[in-house]
Amino acid sequence: MAAAVMALALLVTACGGGGSPTSTTTSGGTTTGTTTAATCSLRSRQDWAAAQLREWYLFPETLPASLDPTPYATVGDYVDALTATARGQGRDRYFTYLTSIADENAFYASGATAAFGIRLQTDTAARRVFVADAYEGAPALAAGIDRGAEILAIGTDQASLQSVDSILAAGGSAGLSNAFGPANAGVTRSLQIRDGAGTRTLTIAKADFSIQPISPRFGTRIINDGGQKIGYINLRSFITPADPALRTAFASFRAQGVTQVIFDVRYNGGGLVSIAELIGDLLGDNRLASDVFSFTSFRPEKSANNATRLFRPQAESIRPMRIAFIGTSGTASASELVINAFTPYLGAAAALIGANTYGKPVGQVALDRAECDDRLRVIAFATQNAARQGNYFSGLASTVGATCRADDALAQPMGDPAEASTATALDFLAGRPCTPISTDAKALSLAASPAVRTLLMPDKPSAMQREVPGSF
């Protein structure tokens, strides 16, 4: 297969028509090959998926020499069985999966989805669920549900309300995800919520809307901290509409002489590598033309696809002296790519604020079988920064120049100087002391701890839920 521009993470879109070349995409580029005409029977689709894995998978030595697909009821189950060894080694934590071409293209192009429009965190130990974010233009925010609200009960109507405590006790996170219903416009649920306005029950229906990657309410601002202008930006997802929004934000930062930045990706599960590269460029006005943003490396048989991405300063670029990246265990993929890229250049002047990140230093290609609407996302390449640092499967806390532990406080909006993570980021930028993320937190994903709120994920996430984790 001939290669075009390469990139990383949870990724891009391109598709072929029936019988036309199949797209192979890696969040920012495409390679093309030819598919053969075939039916879309389960066995045919399973055989096709296995063939793609054997050609592209970054860890081919972990694939079974042969595996009969007959016992597996879906293509996804068969793919999970084929990649089980790498998953057991912590190198492919369900990063390889089957999805819909149409659904993924729609999400990456515009953020389109059908949902209530809220991002949920669960406290597994206490059996509670909270709203961490609410999306503009979506039903939940229009109904008055916003960050900090606790959902106490869920039902198909008010007469069938079940407490979140009982749902989690009976079915765990999967039961809670199922209680919100399928991701189809018109699906209705009654929710009992508690927030600053008290306790009430609302009935809302899922609707089609587009997630704005940067919130018009809190996504970007200038914070005055003791006379120092701090640029704050919160990015929900690395999708195409983020490009103009990021350029507008950085143009404002540049016009106001901002040299210190808080980049908030605390829930950002990744997305298009092209957007990650743009962020590097917008933060890289003081980078040389020869400075490396990232190295991308495939398995030896696919080394013709290897690439080196250099910084390319833009008209809106700034020259940050210090950057505070806010992250959590929900920060992954393209978000980690950006953070890792600045470690060799800023050292201890770039810090991870909050908690350890997820740990995804690898990226997928997208292999399309258009006649079946099948897109197989296959882990096919690894990324490194200019110092050849990668392999951060346990998260970035042990590799960045500095860390500061902070809570994710739901009582205040993100970006509010009084919100715990934002306040700690300001402390770091001002040179005030902070508590480093502990050695234990560096070694372990905080998602493994039942005492920590984690983003709610269904067993079979949609394209939107993979890239904007916790969304319902």
Q: DSSP characters for 226-276? A: TTEEEEEEE---B-TTHHHHHHHHHHHHHHTT--EEEEE-TT---B-HHHH
Alpha carbon distance 364, 381 (integer Å): 7
**Which pLDDT band holds residue 38 (cuts at 50, 70, 90)?**
low
Which has the higher per-residue pLDDT, 113 or 243? 243
**22-25 vs 362-369, strand pairing mode:** antiparallel
**Structure tokens, 366:** 């997208």
**pLDDT number for residue 443:** 46
Alpha carbon distance 286, 340 (integer Å): 17
Alpha carbon distance 42, 348 (integer Å): 52
Average the pLDDT over 336-353 and give the result. Answer: 98
User: In the chain, count of helices (H) and strands (E)?
Assistant: 12, 23
Cβ distance 323 to 391 under 8 Å?
no
Say whether pLDDT at 315 is over 60.
yes
- According to DSSP, residue 18 is labeled T
pLDDT digit string, tens, across residues 45-72: 999 999 999 999 999 999 999 999 999 9
- According to DSSP, residue 315 is labeled T
**pLDDT number for residue 369:** 96
Alpha carbon distance 187, 203 (integer Å): 11
Overall pTM surpassing 0.85 (yes/no): yes
Look at residues 111, 22, 43 and name the one whose alpha carbon lies nearest to residue 376: 22
**pLDDT number for residue 428:** 98
- According to DSSP, residue 41 is labeled -
Say whether pLDDT at 92 is over 90.
yes
Mean pLDDT lowest for which of 47-51, 71-75, 109-113, 284-288? 109-113
Average the pLDDT over 364-368 and give the result. Answer: 95
Alpha carbon distance 9, 70 (integer Å): 31
Alpha carbon distance 270, 410 (integer Å): 22
Mean pLDDT lowest for which of 89-93, 108-112, 154-158, 262-266? 108-112
Average the pLDDT over 361-368 and give the result. Answer: 96
Compute φ and ψ for 217, nearest 5 degrees: -90, -45
- Can you give the length of the chain in residues? 472
**128-134 vs 118-123, strand pairing mode:** antiparallel
What is the pLDDT of the chain when averaged over all its residues? 90
239 CB contacts (<8 Å, ≥6 apart)? Answer: 107, 108, 109, 110, 111, 211, 213, 271, 272, 275, 467
220-294+310-360+387-447: CATH architecture: Alpha-Beta Complex (3.90)
Pick the CATH number of 114-210 from 3.30.2320.30, 2.60.40.1260, 2.10.60.10, 2.30.42.10: 2.30.42.10
**pLDDT number for residue 459:** 84
Say whether pLDDT at 445 is over 60.
no
**pLDDT number for residue 143:** 97
Provide the residue ranges of all domains of the chain, joining segments of one domain with +. 2-110, 114-210, 220-294+310-360+387-447
Average the pLDDT over 161-188 and give the result. Answer: 96
**97-100 vs 2-3, strand pairing mode:** unpaired
Say whether pLDDT at 32 is over 90.
no
Average the pLDDT over 424-444 and give the result. Answer: 83
Look at residues 78, 95, 80, 85 and name the one whose alpha carbon lies nearest to residue 44: 78
- Expressed in angstroms, the distance from the first to the final Cα of the chain is 38
Average the pLDDT over 128-134 and give the result. Answer: 98
pLDDT digit string, tens, across residues 254-269: 999 999 999 999 999 9
**Structure tokens, 424:** 């700690």
Say whether pLDDT at 12 is over 80.
no
Average the pLDDT over 111-139 and give the result. Answer: 95
Look at residues 89, 11, 48, 75 and name the one whose alpha carbon lies nearest to residue 332: 11
**Structure tokens, 370:** 């258009």
**pLDDT number for residue 363:** 95
**Which pLDDT band holds residue 23 (cuts at 50, 70, 90)?**
very low
pLDDT digit string, tens, across residues 210-243: 999 999 999 999 999 999 999 999 999 999 999 9
Average the pLDDT over 12-41 and give the result. Answer: 40
**pLDDT number for residue 120:** 98
Secondary structure class of 67 (helix, strand, coil): coil
